């Protein structure tokens, strides 16, 4: 009740009035404090823009960075399709780099170099590097060293970094920690590489996705360039005020000593512990299925599961052209997922929707359902996979 009164006091215009295009100052102040508290680094509320969810923030960054048709974005494979779709929409070029499945889906420096050089050979001018940490669909959490390497790489090639950090609260391993790009760059004394980082009320333990709340923080950008970004935002006036308030609540949660803190803490820890347990149940269960393999997800809300299927007689993907092979593999994982849906009611997303290394098949699934449902789901998938594989072998 005290919080509700405080919000009404700080926002006397109510929920029905436009705000500044960057969002309400008291919310941006809360976001800056949140970053400062999370990372122990300074944060400037005047470099924060409140957005209708992270998606709109990402689209604003890509709008700003896309200048010529040969401008390219280095994006992870597998990736969240917001990136490929927006790049295509804005008439820019997609430059894939493969995440290293064998190394917990971290980024590999040599792979980044290969990807960058291959793009240059094709006449593409990479302008930014997209990193999703924790990963969607991989569930991976990047190490401090990995992020340092990425920053050095961006610096060397004059790339901006687009850091999709919407799953920052979703980490389920005591040994792992979320390292923000802002923090690592600050520690490295990096002041040239432009950073766009994103957060959202849709993930974490809130999961308030319907409110479309989120923010975008920019670092290392000249004032006049930032002013242009604000101008872009002003075309559609401002982010919805309800979402701004939910962003405020996320970034300024009940503090120790406040009346609602114990309940807040219990709910937060309960949700995150439950997700951790469910990630293990799902990961272990799927790994028990012959022909399926996945890491126990350490972050985000997903498992990206590798699975094998026998090839039909006469099909040899090794001898196919790349485009033909991609089509062949896309048909195989899509058909698999559709049959799974039809026969068991379980909906997973084909790996080809996110991109995957040639010669591999995956699907993305989630550990959001209740525990018992996950157990039943794993049993059901085992039965389906065994029968489907047997049928393909003929």
Which residues contribute to the site for a copy of itself (CB under 8 A)?
13-19, 52-53, 55-56, 59, 63, 82, 85-86, 89, 91, 202, 206-212, 232, 235-243
Smallest gap from Cβ 79 to a copy of itself, in A, equals: 13
Report in angstroms how near the CB of residue 237 gets to a copy of itself at its nearest. Answer: 6
Radius of gyration of the chain (CA): 22
Angle at 109 between CA 107 and CA 111, to 5 degrees: 80
Q: Which is nearer to a copy of itself, 2 or 17 (CB)?
A: 17
Shortest distance (Å) from residue 235 CB to a copy of itself: 5
If the CB atoms of residues 63 and 344 are measured against a copy of itself, the closer one turns out to be: 63
N-to-C CA span, the chain: 65
Q: What are phi and psi of 215, to 5 degrees?
A: -145, 165
Q: Let me know the angle formed at the C-alpha of 308 by 302 and 310, rounded to the nearest 5 degrees.
A: 155
CB of 106 or CB of 365, closer to a copy of itself: 365
Nearer CB in complex with a copy of itself: 85/390? 85
Closer residue to a copy of itself (CB): 52 or 169? 52
- Half-sphere exposure for 229 (CA within 13 Å, toward CB): 28
Pairwise CA distance, residues 85 & 175, whole Å: 35
Quote the least distance from Cβ 300 to a copy of itself, whole Å. 16
- Helix (H) or strand (E) holding 50, with range, is strand 48-51
- Inter-residue contact 107 to 131 (CB < 8 Å): yes
d(CA 31, CA 48): 8
Instruction: State the minimum distance, in angstroms, from the CB of residue 232 to a copy of itself.
Output: 8
Cβ distance to a copy of itself smaller for residue 82 or 147: 82
CB of 347 to a copy of itself, least distance (A): 15
């Amino acid at each position: 009740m005290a919080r509700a009164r405080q919000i009404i006091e700080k926002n006397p215009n109510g929920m029905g009035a436009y705000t500044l295009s960057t969002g309400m100052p008291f919310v941006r102040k809360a976001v800056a404090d949140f970053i400062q508290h999370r990372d122990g680094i300074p944060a400037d509320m005047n470099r924060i823009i409140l957005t209708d969810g992270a998606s709109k923030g990402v689209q604003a960054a890509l709008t700003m960075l896309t200048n010529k048709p040969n401008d390219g974005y280095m994006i992870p494979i597998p990736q969240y399709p917001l990136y490929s779709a927006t790049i295509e929409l804005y008439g820019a070029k997609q430059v894939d780099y493969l995440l290293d499945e064998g190394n917990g889906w971290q980024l590999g420096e040599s792979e980044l170099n290969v990807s960058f050089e291959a793009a240059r050979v094709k006449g593409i001018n990479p302008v930014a590097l997209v990193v999703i940490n924790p990963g969607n669909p991989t569930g991976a959490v990047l190490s401090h060293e990995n992020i340092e390497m990425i920053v050095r790489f961006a610096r060397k090639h004059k790339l901006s970094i687009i850091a999709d950090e919407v799953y920052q609260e979703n980490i389920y391993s005591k040994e792992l920690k979320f390292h923000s790009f802002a923090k690592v760059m600050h520690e490295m004394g990096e002041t040239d590489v432009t950073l766009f980082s994103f957060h959202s009320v849709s993930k974490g333990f809130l999961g308030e996705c319907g409110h479309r709340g989120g923010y975008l923080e920019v670092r290392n950008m000249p004032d006049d360039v930032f002013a242009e970004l604000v101008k872009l935002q002003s075309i559609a006036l401002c982010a919805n005020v309800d979402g701004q308030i939910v962003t405020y609540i996320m970034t300024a949660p009940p503090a120790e000593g406040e009346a609602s803190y114990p309940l807040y803490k219990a709910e937060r820890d309960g949700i995150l512990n439950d997700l951790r347990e469910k990630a293990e149940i799902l990961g272990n269960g799927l790994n028990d299925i012959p022909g399926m393999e996945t890491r126990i997800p350490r972050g985000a809300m997903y498992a990206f599961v590798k699975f094998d299927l026998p090839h039909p007689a006469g099909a040899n993907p090794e001898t196919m052209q790349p485009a033909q092979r991609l089509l062949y593999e896309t048909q195989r994982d899509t058909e698999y997922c559709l049959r799974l849906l039809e026969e068991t009611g379980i909906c997973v997303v084909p790996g080809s929707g996110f991109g995957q290394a040639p010669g591999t098949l995956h699907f993305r699934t989630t550990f959001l359902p209740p525990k018992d449902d996950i157990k039943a789901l794993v049993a059901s998938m085992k039965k389906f996979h065994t029968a489907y594989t047997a049928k393909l072998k003929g």
